[in-house]
């Protein structure tokens, strides 16, 4: 298939073999980047620690200097790439997907790769899903940009990269698909769903080939409990919703409080806080599940869990709030595990809760993820896949619903991603009209049966229109530094002594554009047309007029 035919097919909002193949390619590329990223930060960590996440295996002095050394490296990378390219993570990707069709700037990707690698390796309380989403979207969208594919298909490829990145990072293909649809794209369309699903599958297959079969939370076994405990799950969910709202509010408070300080001062402060707390309490460092596995294996007392929860809370809001490159979901899941174990204490007055600790830790993950991100389906699928236990579905639902309702309705808590987007003044919402039009490329609807006249006299154009009155006619005028195209039609203004022809100037749009850009150009006049060009602005390949746009919208509605 020629490249032109591929672009034409991808301009249509429909499932196709070509889109599925590109989804697989995007998934393989994104997953490969994430695997390299993970191998890099794990290798760095193993040069210092005895094994991944074992911060207690080194001296307090080593733990003190690890975050500080990492911040020096992060600032050096930011200096080399330009500080204005230091916009990273999931909120930034959501904005780029919604307003820039998933195109991720290259320099921000460099910052995210090396910054995230150093932050994760040095014990900051951040997760690897933030870099996974950013790097996955960047790797897959670069394919579309290099091939000059329609923007609507590049957005889907970005979704494929995000799904593959999360799947490769956690071996959770189903949760990755749901996360993309529920959090990033925020819509369910079958022609998007299929390639995203294929990309997530590729991510999971590749990560299993490199790291083996694993489920991150398999160490937390789920035990059946008495039916009366199901009633407590509602209270449990309410309490988690309150904790999540407290977390979100404090995180945004830290971001606003230190907004006036320069980025380098914020990062130094984050490193100092992490260094001090980490040197005293190594269990609170990092965003990986390995440290939590060790903590739960040692049968910790309630006081130790409470102290670790408080320290983890502080380390997470300072690291994320002060701009350390990393994700929020990993630490939130760890907070949910510890909070879940602690909130089991009231049940201990009635029954032996020792066999239930792991179960409530898993349910804590579901409740916290739901209330912090406002992504109930993603939270449910994530906890099911991470634990590899479908028995958790019913009790998790009973936790997720009250956690979500409490957080949103009673505590007026919004998704942390949307709050961060508002804080950074990054738009993410579009009108329903534009959202519909963005799904179709101009190649799918443009009129290619047109006649071009090169500075021809009116008499010649009239002669052609008399023979073909419905045929689009374009006049091409060449100036010293520019070429101008005008749409020619009969003059129906009925002006006395008016010209028999009307000439309407047309704006030019790239063949990668969607109908949304056509709408932006023509909506004020509600008439006229735009011309579509290929590789060069003077290469006319088609025309889209207002009537065509209107007909398309009517058909979609």
Q: What is the pLDDT of residues 467-522, one digit of tens each?
A: 888 888 999 987 766 788 999 988 876 566 667 888 889 999 999 999 999 999 99
Least-confidence region, from 224-233, 293-302, 310-319: 293-302
With a CB cutoff of 8 Å and minimum separation 6, the contacts of 35 are 168, 206, 207, 210, 211
For the cut 90, the answer to whether the pLDDT of residue 258 exceeds it is yes
Beta strand segments in 179-295, E:
none
The answer on pLDDT for 197 being more than 80 is yes
Cα–Cα distance measured from residue 363 to residue 392, given in angstroms and rounded to the nearest whole number: 8
pLDDT of residue 83: 79
Contact 357, 158 (CB under 8 A): no
> Can you tell me whether residue 325 is helix, strand or coil?
coil
Q: Is the pLDDT of residue 87 over 90?
A: no
State how far the Cα of 285 lies from the Cα of 15, in Å rounded to an integer: 45
pLDDT band at 225 (very low <50, low <70, confident <90, very high): confident
Query: Residue 95: pLDDT above 80?
Result: yes
CA–CA dist 293, 309 (Å, integer): 15
Distance CA 27, CA 162 (A): 8
| CB-CB neighbours of 124 under 10 Å | 32
The string of DSSP letters for 263-301 reads HHHHHHHHHHHHHHHHHH-GGG--S-HHHHHHHHHT---
- Whose CA is closest to 534, among 443, 438, 440? 443
Q: Element (H or E) spanning 334, and its range? A: helix 329-342
Q: Would you call 74 helix, strand, or coil by DSSP?
A: helix
Distance CA 520, CA 343 (A): 53
DSSP string, 471-510: S-EEEEEE-SS-EEEEEEEE--S--TT--SEEEEE-EEEE
* Rounded Cα distance, 368 and 33, in Å: 29
Question: What pLDDT was estimated at residue 553?
Answer: 86
* Segment holding 529, helix H or strand E: strand 529-533
pLDDT of residue 1: 57
User: What pLDDT does 327 receive?
Assistant: 94
Partner residues linked to 531 by β-bridges? 508, 543
Overall average pLDDT of the 343-360 stretch: 87
Identify whether the C-beta of residue 549 lies closer than 8 Å to the C-beta of residue 519. Answer: yes
Strand partners, 530: 507, 544
Q: Where are the domains of the chain?
A: 3-429, 440-556
C-beta separation of 162 from 23 below 8 A: no
Residue 482 CA neighbour count, 13 Å, CB half: 4
Lowest-confidence pick of 74-78, 247-251, 350-354, 406-410: 350-354
Q: Are strands 507-510 and 483-490 parallel, antiparallel or unpaired?
A: unpaired
Which of 275, 230, 246, 216 has the alpha carbon at shortest distance from 339? 246
Q: Assign 532 a pLDDT band (cuts: 50, 70, 90).
A: very high
Question: DSSP character for 92?
Answer: H
The CATH number of 440-556, from 3.40.50.1580, 3.40.50.150, 3.10.580.10, 1.10.10.10, is 3.10.580.10
Q: Would you tell me the crossing angle of helices 376-387 and 151-170 to the nearest 10 degrees?
A: 40
The dihedrals phi and psi of 514, each to the nearest 5 degrees, come to -110, 175
327 secondary structure, DSSP code: B
In contact, 511 and 533? CB cutoff 8 Å: yes
More confident residue, 432 or 151: 151
Q: What are phi and psi of 219, to 5 degrees?
A: -70, -15
Give just the sign of the alpha carbon dihedral 62, 64, 68, 73.
positive
Counting every residue written for the chain, the total comes to 557
For residue 438, the number of C-alpha atoms closer than 13 Å in the C-beta half-sphere is 21
User: Cβ(158)–Cβ(137) under 8 Å?
Assistant: yes
Give the CATH fold of the 3-429 domain: Clc chloride channel (1.10.3080)
Both structure tokens of 466: 């008399």
Cβ atoms of 240 and 396 within 8 Å: the answer is no
Long-range pairs for 177-184 at CB < 8 Å and ≥24 separation? 178/375, 178/377, 178/378, 178/381, 179/375, 179/378, 179/382, 182/375, 182/377, 182/378, 183/90, 183/94, 183/373, 183/375, 183/378, 183/415, 183/417, 184/90, 184/93, 184/94, 184/97, 184/133, 184/159
Helix axes 302-321, 329-342, angle to 10 degrees: 160
pLDDT tens-place string over residues 122-146: 999 999 999 999 999 999 999 999 9
Question: 0.95 exceeded by the pTM?
Answer: no
Residue 85 has pLDDT above 80, yes or no: no
Question: Mean pLDDT, to the nearest integer, of 254-280?
Answer: 96
């Amino acid at each position: 298939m020629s490249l032109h035919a591929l672009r034409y097919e991808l301009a249509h909002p429909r499932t196709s073999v070509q889109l599925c193949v590109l989804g697989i390619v995007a998934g393989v590329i994104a997953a490969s980047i994430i695997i390299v990223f993970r191998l890099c930060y794990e290798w760095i960590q193993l040069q210092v620690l005895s094994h991944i996440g074992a911060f207690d295996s080194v001296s307090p002095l080593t733990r003190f200097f690890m975050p500080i050394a990492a911040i020096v490296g992060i600032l050096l990378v930011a200096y080399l790439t330009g500080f204005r390219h230091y916009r990273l993570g999931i909120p930034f990707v959501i904005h780029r997907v919604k307003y820039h069709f998933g195109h991720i700037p290259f320099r921000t990707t460099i910052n995210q790769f090396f910054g995230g690698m150093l932050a994760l390796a040095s014990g900051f309380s951040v997760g690897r899903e933030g870099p996974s989403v950013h790097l996955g979207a960047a790797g897959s969208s670069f394919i579309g940009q290099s091939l000059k594919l329609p923007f609507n298909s590049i957005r889907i490829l970005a979704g494929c990269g995000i799904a593959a990145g999360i799947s490769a990072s956690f071996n959770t293909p189903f949760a990755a698909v749901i996360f993309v649809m529920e959090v990033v794209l925020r819509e369910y369309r079958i022609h998007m769903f299929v390639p995203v699903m294929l990309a997530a599958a590729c991510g999971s297959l590749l990560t299993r080939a490199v790291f083996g079969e694993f489920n991150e939370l398999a160490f937390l076994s789920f035990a059946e409990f008495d039916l009366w405990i199901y009633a407590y799950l509602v209270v449990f969910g309410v309490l988690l919703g309150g904790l999540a709202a407290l977390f979100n509010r404090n995180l945004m408070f830290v971001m606003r409080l230190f907004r006036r300080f320069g980025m380098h001062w914020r990062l130094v402060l984050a490193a100092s806080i992490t260094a001090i707390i980490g040197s005293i309490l190594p269990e609170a460092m990092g965003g990986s599940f390995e440290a939590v596995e060790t903590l739960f294996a040692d049968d910790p007392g309630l006081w130790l869990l409470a102290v670790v929860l408080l320290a983890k809370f502080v380390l997470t809001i300072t690291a994320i709030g002060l701009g350390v490159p990393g994700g929020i979901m990993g630490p939130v899941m760890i907070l949910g595990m510890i909070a879940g174990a602690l909130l089991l204490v009231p049940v201990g007055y009635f029954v032996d809760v020792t066999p239930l600790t792991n179960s409530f830790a898993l349910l804590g993950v579901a409740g916290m993820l739901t209330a912090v991100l406002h992504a109930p389906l993603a939270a449910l699928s994530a906890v099911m896949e991470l634990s590899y236990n479908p028995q958790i579905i019913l009790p998790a639902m009973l936790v997720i619903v009250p956690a979500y309702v409490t957080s949103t309705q009673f505590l007026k808590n919004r998704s942390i991603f949307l709050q961060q987007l508002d804080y950074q003044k990054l738009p993410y919402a579009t009108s329903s009209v534009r959202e519909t039009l963005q799904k179709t490329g101009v190649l799918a609807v443009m009129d290619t049966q047109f006649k071009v006249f090169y500075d021809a006299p009116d008499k010649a154009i009239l002669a052609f229109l008399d023979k073909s009155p419905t045929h689009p006619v374009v006049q091409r005028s060449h100036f010293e530094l520019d070429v101008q195209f005008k749409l020619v039609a009969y003059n129906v203004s009925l002006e006395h002594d008016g010209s028999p022809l009307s000439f309407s100037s047309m704006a030019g749009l790239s063949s990668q554009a969607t109908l949304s850009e056509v709408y932006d150009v023509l909506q004020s006049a509600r008439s006229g047309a735009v011309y579509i060009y290929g590789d060069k602005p003077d290469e006319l390949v088609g025309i889209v007029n207002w009537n065509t746009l209107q007909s398309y919208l009517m058909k979609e509605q």
